[in-house]
Amino acid sequence: MNVNSSKNKKLIKQYPFLTEVLGTPMEPYYKREEARITDSIIDELTIRVEKADGDLMFRSANNVGLNDSSVILSIKEDKKGQVGKQGEYAFAVGKENQIITYLNFSRYPENCGQIYANTVLWETHPYYLTRIKDISEETKYIVWVTVNAWYLDTKNDDIPCGRCGEFKNRSIRITIYGTPNQGFKKLREESSVYLNLSLDNNLIVRGAIEKDHDIVTIGGMLYEMCITFQDEVYFNGMKDVLDNGEFRGASGQFGAVKVLCAEMCGYDRVMLEDSVSYVTFQLRPGSKHMYVLGQQGTLPQIRNLVKTVVRMWRDPEIRKAFKPNENVSVM
């Protein structure tokens, strides 16, 4: 959306702290970071307003290309031939519409561990996460900001500036989270990493490397779901459909959950997905045990996928919905 659209102007007037948020230097900038340019040009601006919930408390930044040479690849036509970088930030705004503090996730060293949005409800040490003061009761809004910059793709990882060539576009997406009914302090206390943390492969791997107790435990819980699925569904008729069908692919709809199954590079792979989450299980050739290949969603969302399919698979009539399909591709 155009920065100066009538909707954006109205929201900036309604929430005056947005002017200060937009004036905060936030990577990625429109020029290469190594050039130390902090110009905050904005080509597109999107502003949304929502009510804070437990998922926000355990939201973590998805930063790409700020501290390394990684880039975002897009299949969108308007981004053809381009690569992107992304930075995410969280601001705590007080009752007088002033910014109390903000989280620049990328500035903290790796040994700080996983950093979540609820950290912004504390004043912390400038470079480490030592808590100085609880500001949850002073906070009226949490503002989540996502900054993207797009560049022509040089397709050359060896040159000093990497694959980011000529600058093309910089956009900012802002979500203003209002105070929940119980207040931010109570929301933080009621929220749980086991209920509200959105899981992905990078998070699980990082948690294992850093020996994060909660994330390692979650990994074990995901594996237990995998074993339940393989025993109750996959080795209880589903694999037979794949093996005995005309194609090495099959699919079916079980309530709100779509099941896709296919052989990928010699591996049997099954994905369960709905509109908000997915989980993929895989079986190595000759193995008797599946494992979790990937996932996206909170633990309750992923558990619901597995429970739904397991429950419905027990009905012989419902099972018939799962049929061979030659046009299946599984992530």
d(CA 240, CA 214): 37
| Residue 33 confidence (pLDDT) | 47
- Whether 234 and 87 map to the same domain: the answer is no
pLDDT tens for each residue of 258-311:
999 998 888 999 999 999 999 999 999 989 999 999 999 999 999 999 999 999
pTM, two decimals, is: 0.86
Token reading at 101: 């503090």
**Residue with the two structure tokens 């999107």:** 46
d(CA 301, CA 77): 31
pLDDT tens for each residue of 96-134:
999 999 999 887 766 566 789 999 999 887 666 778 899
Say if CB 180 and CB 52 are below 8 A apart.
yes
Number of H helices, E strands in the chain: 10, 14
Token reading at 312: 């419905």
If you compute the radius of gyration of the chain from its CA atoms, what whole number of angstroms results? 23
Residue 60 lies in a domain: yes
- Whether 161 and 57 map to the same domain: the answer is yes
Mean pLDDT of the chain: 90
- Whether 223 and 276 map to the same domain: the answer is yes
| Residue 91 confidence (pLDDT) | 97
The percent of residues in the chain predicted with pLDDT above 90, rounded, is: 68
- Cβ atoms within 10 Å of 151's Cβ, excluding its own: 25
Backbone angles phi, psi at 172, to 5 degrees: -130, 130
d(CA 118, CA 92): 10
Domain count, the chain: 2
**Residue with the two structure tokens 């937009």:** 22
d(CA 106, CA 90): 12
Residue 53 CA to chain centroid, in angstroms? 16
- Whether 75 and 131 map to the same domain: the answer is yes
- Whether 142 and 61 map to the same domain: the answer is yes
Q: Which residues are registered as beta bridge partners of 207?
A: none
Residue 204 lies in a domain: no
d(CA 189, CA 180): 13
- Whether 21 and 168 map to the same domain: the answer is yes
d(CA 207, CA 113): 8
Residue 206 CA to chain centroid, in angstroms? 14
| Residue 87 confidence (pLDDT) | 94
d(CA 133, CA 87): 26
Residue 29: band (very low, low, confident or very high) from pLDDT cuts 50, 70, 90: confident
User: Which structural domain range is residue 149 located in?
Assistant: 6-191
Average pLDDT over residues 211-240: 96
Residue 167 lies in a domain: yes
